[in-house]
Amino acid sequence: MGAIYESKKKSNNLNVKKSELMIEGADVFGGLREFKNWLNSPNIALGDKVPAQLTNTLEGIEKIRELLDALSFGNVV
């Protein structure tokens, strides 16, 4: 039962982080639609990977948040 609980806990944490990412991204881009467009477009800072492909792990979400931070400070990513 411990493994099941840990798996659900990780899943819930991932969902919370995804929700936070969407809010942060919409704020940086001025709207959810604009953020989703960026999220689904290849990004040179990610080796031409699509950022949305990284949203399945906490590490990937953190990488996207780092890019959002850079964008919010005026960097091009």
Please identify every stretch of the chain with a pLDDT value under 50, giving residue numbers as ranges: none
| Nearest residue to 22 via CA among 11, 13, 31 | 31
Q: What is the pLDDT of residue 62?
A: 97
Judge residue 46's burial from the number of C-beta atoms within 10 Å of its C-beta, 0-12 exposed, 13-18 middle, 19 or more buried: middle
The CA-atom distances, in angstroms, between 39 and each of 7, 11, 57, 70 are 26, 21, 15, 15
CA distance 40 to 14: 19
The model's pLDDT over 44-54, given as tens digits with 9 standing for 90+, comes to: 999 999 999 99
